[in-house]
Amino acid sequence: MNTYDVRPESFEVFKKRMLLINGLVILSLVLGLIFVFPFRDKIGIIALAIAIVLVLIIAAFAINRSIKRMREVWPTYSLTIDDDFILKTQLHHSDIRIDREEIKTIKKSFTGDLVIKTDEWRKFIIIPRSLNGLEEVEGLLTQWKPIRGTSIKALIFSLSIAIAIFFGFLVLVRHLF
């Protein structure tokens, strides 16, 4: 049985990535608000400004809170690999145990993180690239199942679809109301 943990200093890299993703989501929400709100008069512009300020305040509070929580739990990440199972434990999270025969796929993202998935969509383990001994873990997991890579092209395609659906929904809302 082997146990691995993350490098505590790697939290700053994770935090920057989280801020970038949240920033893009907030930008999309603000653009959506601008698109949906009518600009017929001063009341519409004032309502838009208030909505944007509210979104920014709520987002800032939520991001700050989640960063504080993640800073607390980040160093408690622990991954245990035995001959027939993998177990992830972390403070304030339920333990996730995946037996060897439960593994459906193992993917390596373009960022270097590993994702172990099962047939249950809620039962998965993300192994961060900052894990001490990641190369050893990859070697052990390769013996269980081949590790497939995911490309940035697949991510961009998925994001494009999501953005198209989001703005399509906004167009529908604007025409209906």
Helix axes 152-176, 11-36, angle to 10 degrees: 30
pLDDT at 31: 86
Report the percent of the chain where pLDDT is more than 70.
Answer: 99
Looking at residue 15, its pLDDT comes to 93
Tell me the pLDDT tens digit for each residue of 137-170. 999 999 999 999 887 788 788 888 988 888 888 7
Distance CA 161, CA 172 (A): 16
Pairing mode of beta strands 114-118, 103-108: antiparallel
Handedness of CA 43, 46, 51, 54 (dihedral sign): negative
- Band (pLDDT 50/70/90 cuts) for residue 69 is very high
CB neighbour burial string for 81-99, b if at least 16 within 10 angstroms, e if fewer: beeeebbbebeeeeebebe
Which segment of 56-60, 67-71, 140-144, 172-176 scores lowest on mean pLDDT?
172-176
- pLDDT of 150: 82
Please give the mean pLDDT across all residues of the chain.
Answer: 90
| CA dist., res. 152 & res. 129, Å (int) | 16
Q: How confident is the model at residue 103 (pLDDT cuts 50, 70, 90)?
A: very high
Distance CA 60, CA 116 (A): 31
The predicted pLDDT at position 62 comes to 95
- Please state whether 60 falls in left (phi above 0), alpha (psi between -120 and 50) or beta: alpha
Q: In this predicted structure, what is the pLDDT of residue 177?
A: 63
